C-alpha cells in the first residue's frame, strides 16, 4: 500500500470527513460504503448570463466501488440520489468523484 493510499484510508475513516452511504448499482444489491460528501455551489456561464446552482458531489473509494455508472443509486441519511454523468477518477486511480441528482 502506498503512502497516498494509506492517507486516503485515514481520511475515509475519519468521522468528521466521511460518512456511511448506501450504494446500489443498477440491478445490484445495496452495499454500505464510506464516502466524502461535498455540496459546492457552481456558477456556470451561459452566453452573457451566469447561472448559480447547488451541486451534490460524492467521493467514493475505488476499493469499495469498482465502477460506478450513471443511474446507480446512493442513499445519504435516507435521502436518495442518482449518479448523473460519467464518474471521474483521481490521478492516483484510488477515488471516484460522482455528481448526484435527487432520485
Task: Express each pLDDT in 22-34 by its tens digit.
Answer: 999 988 999 999 9
pLDDT value of position 67 = 95
In order of 41, 70, 83, the CA distances from 101 in angstroms are 14, 10, 7
Round the average pLDDT of the chain to a whole number and report it. 90
Calculate mean pLDDT across residues 44-52: 76
pLDDT-derived band of residue 5, with 50, 70 and 90 as boundaries?
Answer: confident
Rounded Cα distance between 89 and 19, Å, is 19
pLDDT value of position 41 = 63
Amino acid at each position: 500500500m502506498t503512502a497516498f493510499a494509506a492517507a486516503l484510508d485515514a481520511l475515509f475513516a475519519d468521522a468528521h470527513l466521511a460518512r456511511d452511504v448506501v450504494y446500489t448499482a443498477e440491478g445490484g444489491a445495496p452495499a454500505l460504503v464510506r464516502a466524502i460528501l461535498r455540496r459546492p455551489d457552481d456558477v456556470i456561464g451561459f452566453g452573457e448570463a451566469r447561472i448559480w446552482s447547488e451541486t451534490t458531489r460524492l467521493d467514493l473509494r475505488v476499493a469499495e466501488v469498482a465502477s460506478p455508472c450513471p443511474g446507480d443509486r446512493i442513499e445519504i441519511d435516507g435521502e436518495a440520489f442518482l449518479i448523473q454523468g460519467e464518474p471521474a477518477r483521481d490521478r492516483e486511480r484510488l477515488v471516484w468523484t460522482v455528481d448526484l441528482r435527487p432520485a
